[in-house]
Structure 1
Amino acid sequence: MNKKRKKSLAGIAGIVAVATLISKIFGLVREQIVAAAFGIGPVVNAYAYAYVIPGFLLILLGGINGPFHSALVSVLAKKDQKSAAPLIETVTTLVSGILLLVTVILIIYADKFIDLLAPGLESNVREMAILQLQIMAPLAIFAGLIGIGFGSLNASDQYWLPSISPLFSSLTIVVGVGGLFWFLGEKINAPEYLQWGSIMLAGTTLAGGIWQWLAQQTAQIKSGISTLKLRFNFRQEGVNEVVKVMAPATLSSGMLHINVYTDLYFASYIENAAAAMRYANFIVLTPLGIISNMILVPFLPIFSRLASPENWDELKLRIRQGLILTALTMLPLTAIFVALSQPIVALIYERGVFKSSASAIVAPVLFAYGIGMFFYLARDVLVRVFYALGDGQTPFKISIINIFINVILDYFLVKSFATQGLVFATIGVNIFSMIIMLFILNKRLNGLPLKEWTVIFLGLIVATIISGFSCWGFYGLISSLWVKESLLLQGVNLLFSCLIALGIFLLFTIPLKLPELSILLSKINAKISKS
């Protein structure tokens, strides 16, 4: 809404970071419970496919920085408080009607969707996946409502509840699956109980989405920015503006997630690939989600306010700031995940039915995901610049091209690298997207200092490589001192090795004299001083 912002960029980032950290901690506990209960067995493999469409809709429509969130923030940031509620209610009515139809289709044709996604599934996994998809189908509606809630609350300068609300979804799964595992123990994977576990995992996922929406809706009603009132005046001012950004942005992000479908199609022919990708991806998404929200949530309205040509010089500085902050936060994590993938997976997941043999399957996939962290988030930063400029068409067109590139890369890389190849293909697609978007923005904004940026990023890559080898060597050295490692010792070894990686990265980054590094360090120091 068009009013003076009381919260600074740093203040918003701090709120988002703390709330997201809490949500991610609960998310990690959720994944540990699921891993301990089901390992990489049929229930989780079925869930990996059944959750593709509901999860895709939750990320696409209901996620922070998704197209619904981005479109509403872009439009509402330019409007006053008075016009917000009718606009939000109208958009909610329109979206709910469309997604109700999607829900019915998912329930009726669940078997067709599963067969299309994963033709290589064994029959028992296929049957569980179909049932789970039918249970979770209503998430289609709540995904749209959650996305609208994120955008509405952020536009009214509320960041805490939207960022922490995913906690509710994780908590329901922890209670449901954890309770069933406590009651049945490892018998939960016996043939006679697999169906119970499958239904519990899908049912608590749906319940969590409903709880998340209810929390957001309560906050919207209290703030006076939306009620449960249905409005069918789709011609009112602002609706067309929201749809103009939302529709191509949704299609663009949807095209991106078609790449996920492609990956899972190939993964269905590789034993335990889907479960391995799920577990490894979540480890990466935990810090990635926290940092992406810190960067993207505050920057989107800033990009939008600098969209006019007279503000382009400052916009370029903000783009640089977003990309370099992305590198400064993602690349040290890349060094850690690549160097220490096996001990990280073992520490997080090895309990219950998740044994060392499962870690050996998941760790190489984490290695691959670690390599792509920077490219994933940097691409998202550039996409938000296009959204702020009112251009959802360009990312959409790039996404269409990416589908074909991803299919080709999947086909060839899976032969050489198996499950890792599917991740490497995604990294290749993200790199291609970044190059094309930078080229277009360079022309549109009358030039970007690309040579200067390239030199900076090359320096940061060198720092990443050195820090990765350093923490790998240190971990090997310190681990050799113990005859037998306990869980506590594993954690201590990893902690000190990660600190070595961060310290080496910082040591080699300081000579670059980046103002973004000074900003980042000052904010970290301020947070430590307050705590």
Structure 2
Amino acid sequence: MREKTEIARATGIMGIATALSRVFGLVRDVVVARLFGAGFGADAFFMAFTIPNLLRRFFAEGSLTAAFVPTFSRVHHEQGADEGRRVANICLTLLLLVMTGVTLCGLLASPWIVRLIGYGFSEIPGKLELTNFLNRLMFPYIFFVSLLALITGVLNVLGHYFWPAVSPVLLNLAMIASAVLLAGSFDAPVTALAIGVLVGGFLQLVIQFPVARRYGLRFRPDFHFRHPAVRRVVRLMLPGLAGVAIYQINIVVTRLLASFLAEGSVSYLYFGQRLFEFPQGIFVVSLAQAVLPAMSRQVAIGDQSGFKESLRYALVLICLVTLPAAAGLVLCSVPVYSLFFMRGAFSYNDVLQSALVLAAYAPGLLFAGVSRVVVPSFYAMHDTRTPVWVSFYTLLVNAALGLLLMRFYQHVGLALALTLSSVFNCFVLLFLLRRKLGPLGLKHVLRSMLRIVPGTLLMAVFAYAVLYNGQWQVPGSFWPKLLRLGTAVIGGSGIFYAVCLFMRVPEVSQLAGFIRRKTRWKREVRKG
């Protein structure tokens, strides 16, 4: 029960912080769409940002966190805080040296890397050169966010989640400010966005220092790289690097294939993916981060039944959020792009194309969410190899489906291929986890899912009825559009919540009871 409470608390804190970040991310994308549209400059920026963003997940958020958090958690709880701090300093020293080398190599090799992933751009004069320039300008971003990821892992194990989760707000603010204030200062206005990325990455790292000091963390270079815990991190991280690399290659393959399609295809995929990641980033990623320390503790003490219970609880929470969110993304795709994006350089055709991509991505939200929870289960058991092999075969599935579907559906086919490969990835991971641990008790998860479906369907019917008659092709009319969209979202959410209560979905009932207790306590405090 304590682990469930800790998972829920951590998920809530990171969810709130991440929601704040995603709101600013939406504002950032609106500014980008308005200033740069979905053409030459935007395509070049999104392609260039693919590389440092890929390496961020390659070195930082994926394999590093997955290898470091379980190891640091074990050292901290078994050998004490002082030894934990020492291990953190050794890992930080090693990471600083590695990322310095990676950054320098990236700057030197940029022209070849850009040509490899954006080969289709070579047919448009100047587009490949602009992409290379932007990539070099943004490349040091990976240095800052990799150090940030390690500090985040330490703070999460120590029970602090908010500031690491909210730090992306600074990246979004820096990009917004740079785009608005500096775009007119460059021959290629999109250069301002790249400067914002660099400044934002630096600020994300710096803001963690006061929090780290409050927890007694002082960085002192320590070159004892043969420490057993550090060697364990490296040993776990190497296959993890391969797994994350394969996953990110999926995205690179999609962008590479899109570079051969009509101009704007890369931008449509970006804008579609950004809104797809909105609910995923707010809840799914937060839950995955929250569940890893809890599962690592349970593995460390040999509590396999508690481990399985934490997994089931996390999977039910994933279903509770992603099923209605996926339906909402499909129904609200055109209204959202029309309301927030359709102005300046962003046309109604851009709205429709981005909405089609989002609708193709949306069904994959559930399967991507389940995978996000199942993969940390392997990591908590110090098994980073299994997800690598699954990712490799998922890459092959995505590439084959992408080549097939883009012939018929262009950029929408590429989005659909990624969704279908997410389905494949999810079911293979669950199958292998069950073979490793025995029965997982997923019938409980399935029963909860069946109770969630009626609420999702009624919510979708209500939202469709509200949104169907909207004049989304007409520019402007911000407040009428916002009122209609807000009615669909708030009303649909209320219907979903009420139906889930009626169907006695345990997690929703627990939330309702928690709110009632908090409300009753506040009334008693006021009376007293």
Amino acid at match of 1:128: L
> Which residue is 2:71 aligned to?
75
Q: How does 1:194-343 map to 2 (within 5 A)?
A: 194-195=187-188, 197-227=189-219, 229-271=220-262, 272-307=264-299, 311-343=303-335
Residue 33 (str. 1) matches residue 31 (str. 2): yes
CA 1:402–1:309 in 2, change beyond 3 Å: closer, same or farther?
farther
Structure 1 residue 14, shift from structure 2 partner: 2.9
**CA apart distance, 1:256:** 0.6
How many angstroms does 1:442 deviate by?
Answer: 1.4
Q: Which residue of 2 aligns with 1:379?
A: 371
Counterparts in 2 of 1:527 and 1:277: CA distance versus 1, 3 Å:
farther
Q: Deviation at 1:254?
A: 1.7
Preserved CA contact (<8 Å) 1:456 1:512:
no
Distance 1:481 1:340 in 2: 11
Contact 1:338–1:468 at 8 Å: present in 2 too? no
Q: Which amino acid aligns with 1:117?
A: I
Range 499-508 or range 245-254, more displaced:
499-508
- 1:237 deviation in Å? 3.2
Paired with 1:99 and 1:482, the residues of 2 have a C-alpha distance of 47
In 2: Cα distance, 1:268 partner to 1:481 partner: 29
Counterpart AA for 1:178: V
Partner SS state of residue 27, structure 1: helix
SS of aligned partner of 1:353: coil
Cα pair 1:467 1:502 within 8 Å, conserved? yes
- Percent identity of equivalent pairs: 26
Report the 3-state secondary structure (helix = DSSP H, G, I; strand = E; otherwise coil) of the residue aligned with 1:306: helix
Query: What's the TM-score, normalizing by structure 2?
Result: 0.90
Distance 1:414 1:99 in 2: 36
Partner Cα separation in structure 2 for residue 330 and residue 98 of structure 1: 37
| Cα displacement (A) at 1:105 | 2.0
Runs of 4+ in structure 1 over 6 Å off: 480-485, 524-531
Q: Once the 2 structures are TM-superposed, how far is the Cα of residue 524 of structure 1 from its aligned partner?
A: 6.2
Query: TM-score, normalised to structure 1's length?
Result: 0.90
SS of the residue aligned with 1:162? helix
Name the CA distance, whole Å, in 1 between partners of 2:360 and 2:205: 34
Q: 1:90 to 1:354 in 2, by over 3 A?
A: same
Q: Could you say if the C-alpha distance between residues 509 and 293 of structure 1 is closer, same or farther in structure 2, counting changes exceeding 3 Å?
A: same
Contact (CA 8 Å) 1:169, 1:209: kept in 2 or not? Answer: yes
What is the CA distance between 1:308 and its match in structure 2?
5.9
Contact 1:81–1:225 (CA under 8 A) maintained in structure 2: no
May I ask how many residue pairs the two structures share in their alignment? 513
Aligned CA distance change for structure 1 residues 408 and 208 (closer, same or farther; 3 Å): same
Q: Is 1:436 aligned to residue 438 of structure 2?
A: no
Structure 2 residue matching 1:31: 3-state secondary structure: helix
Aligned in 2, Cα 1:76/1:354: closer, same or farther, shift over 3 Å?
same
Q: 1:511 to 1:102 in 2, by over 3 A?
A: same
Question: Aligned partners of 1:295 and 1:325: how far apart in 2?
Answer: 9
The match for 2:526 is: none
CA distance in 2, matches of 1:206, 1:32: 20
Q: 1:509, CA displacement in angstroms? A: 3.7
Residue 523 to residue 245, structure 1, CA distance change in 2 (3 Å): farther
1:409 paired with 2:401, answer yes
Q: For the structure 1 residues 153 and 207, does the alpha-carbon distance in structure 2 shift closer, same or farther, using more than 3 Å as the test?
A: same
CA RMSD in angstroms comes to 2.7
Q: Quote the Cα distance in structure 2 between the aligned partners of 1:452 and 1:8.
A: 21
Q: Return 5+ residue gaps in structure 2 as ranges.
A: 524-528
Report the Cα offset of residue 35 of structure 1: 1.2
Q: Quick one: which of 47, 50, 62 aligns to 1:49?
A: 47
Corresponding residue for 1:103?
A: 103
What residue identity is the alignment partner of 2:250?
A: N
Q: Distance in 2 between matches of 1:299 and 1:178?
A: 39
2:465 match: 473
Please name the residue that 1:84 is paired with: 84
Judge which range, 353-362 or 389-398, deviates more.
Answer: 353-362
- Whole-Å separation in 1 of the counterparts to 2:58 and 2:155: 18
The answer to whether the 8 A contact 2:343-2:475 is kept is: no
Unaligned regions of 5+ residues in structure 1, if any?
none
For residue 129 of structure 1, report the CA deviation from its aligned partner: 0.4
SS class of match (1:224): coil
State the alpha-carbon separation in 2 of the partners of residues 524 and 150 from structure 1.
30
| Contact kept? 2:174, 2:196, Cα under 8 Å | yes
> In structure 2, which of residues 344, 349, 353 is the aligned counterpart of residue 357 of structure 1?
349
Contact 1:306 1:315 in 2 (8 A): yes
**Corresponding letter in the other structure for 1:12:** A
> Distance between the aligned counterparts of 1:436 and 1:263, measured in 2?
22
Superposed displacement of residue 8, structure 1: 3.7
Question: Take 2:157 and 2:399, find their aligned partners in 1: how far apart are those partners?
Answer: 38
Distance change >3 Å, CA 331–CA 86, structure 1 → 2:
same
CA distance in structure 2 between the partners assigned to 1:230 and 1:474 by the alignment = 59
Offset at residue 289 of structure 1 (A):
0.9
